[in-house]
Structure 1
Amino acid sequence: MVLSDADRQLLDRCLSGENGAWADFVDRYIALLTHVVVTTAGLKLPSVPPELRDDMVAEILMALVDDDFAILRRFKGHSSLGTYLVVVARRIAARRLTRLSSQPHIPLTSPAPAAVEASADADHQALESEEEVSALLSQLPDEEATAIRMFHLEHRSYEDIGTHMGIPQNSVGPLLSRARQRMRKLKQD
């Protein structure tokens, strides 16, 4: 199947930066991208937590807009846009799953692993971890810091965060991904 006129117009609108085009793109393809993530992750995980699913979809959406829509600009139109997005999304999701499987996961809200032990040294490490998270949060833009606090520390849903911050629910995942990426970079520096 080749690129449809509707998809060609939507793609052109996104690439030209037309107001509302990205929202239309997300509305049209969010279900497809979510399906690809669930299917891809389901091959490696017994179940896909909603937070992981949403983060992976957000990572895909961020990749699509990175470098002035570079991935979308590379699309040649030899297939349907949906087919192209499935391939792109599957690759990004598989890469993310590979990274996750090769690194131990410590949630942002958890203190350092040694802090689980009930000892003075463990309490000291937990305090240092909490201080490190606080220091990193203070270096983030206000919107990103608020989103991170609400999601990881207050355990609020994307819907709650979007409502509280006055942004669409579909924008919460990309916002959290940007914030986490910025925190990782700050921690490395």
Structure 2
Amino acid sequence: MALSEIDRSLLERCLAKKPRAWEDFVDRFMGLVIHVINHTAHCRSVLLASTDRDDLVGEVMLSIVDNDFAVLRHFRGQSSLATYLTVIARRVVVKKLIERHQAASLGSLSGEPHTNDAPFEQRIEDREEVDRLLQSLDGTEAQVVRMYHLEGKTYQEICRTTGMSSNSVGPMLSRVRNKLRSMPQQS
């Protein structure tokens, strides 16, 4: 698909630094960037906290405006602007995920706990906390929590074992974590 007239105009306005051009650009493509971040993290079995997602959105947007919109200036118009931005966003997100994963791996070499494939949303390290959570769960939820937090399994391993779809593991773990947060703390 070629560059649409709407996107061509928006691109020209951004490069000319017209008033409200950047705001219009963000309004038009923010959903796309968030989708790319979520999809990329999901494909890499990374559970993102909302603050991590916000950080990645900032990294993608910074890469677009960096060096006087160099990324936009390099756009050749041979595809839609959305397709081009999808590729740019994915590259930035993958690079940042790899950097964080490597930082986590280096931490494990220095004796700090290694979080396997979850450099953002940390696994629950406190066994008592996991046990307390497991008491309030049953069935598949308990099995997924046990596999992820106690056995260190990846999303793919959990899917293979439980038969769940890969789109279900992350949301289930998020719901369970929210349950834990809402449970009264024991002293």
Give the alignment's TM-score, normalised by structure 1.
Answer: 0.54
Q: CA deviation at 1:104?
A: 2.6
Partner of 1:33: 33
Partner of 1:42: 42
Please give the alpha-carbon distance, in whole angstroms, between the structure 2 residues aligned to 1:46 and 1:99: 13
Partner of 2:137: none
Task: Mark the runs of 5 or more structure 2 residues left unpaired by the alignment.
Answer: 106-110, 113-187
Count of residue correspondences: 107
- AA aligned opposite 1:25: F
- Following TM superposition, the consecutive aligned residue runs of length 4 or more in structure 1 with deviations greater than 4 angstroms are none
Q: CA deviation at 1:42?
A: 1.2
CA RMSD of aligned residues (A): 1.6
Q: CA deviation at 1:45?
A: 3.1
Matches within 5 A, 1:1-189: 1-104=1-104
- AA aligned opposite 1:96: K
Instruction: Tell me whether 71-80 or 96-105 shows the greater mean CA deviation.
Output: 96-105
Structure with bigger gyration radius: 2
Task: Mark the runs of 5 or more structure 1 residues left unpaired by the alignment.
Answer: 106-112, 115-189
Please give the alpha-carbon distance, in whole angstroms, between the structure 2 residues aligned to 1:13 and 1:36: 24
Determine which structure has the larger helix proportion and give its number.
1
CA gap 1:7/1:74 in 2 versus in 1, 3 angstroms:
same
Partner of 2:155: none
Please give the alpha-carbon distance, in whole angstroms, between the structure 2 residues aligned to 1:46 and 1:84: 24
1:47-83 deviation per Cα after TM superposition (whole angstroms, max 9, x unaligned): 2211111110110000000000000000000000000
- AA aligned opposite 2:81: L
Please give the alpha-carbon distance, in whole angstroms, between the structure 1 residues aligned to 2:95 and 2:104: 16
Please give the alpha-carbon distance, in whole angstroms, between the structure 1 residues aligned to 2:63 and 2:101: 21
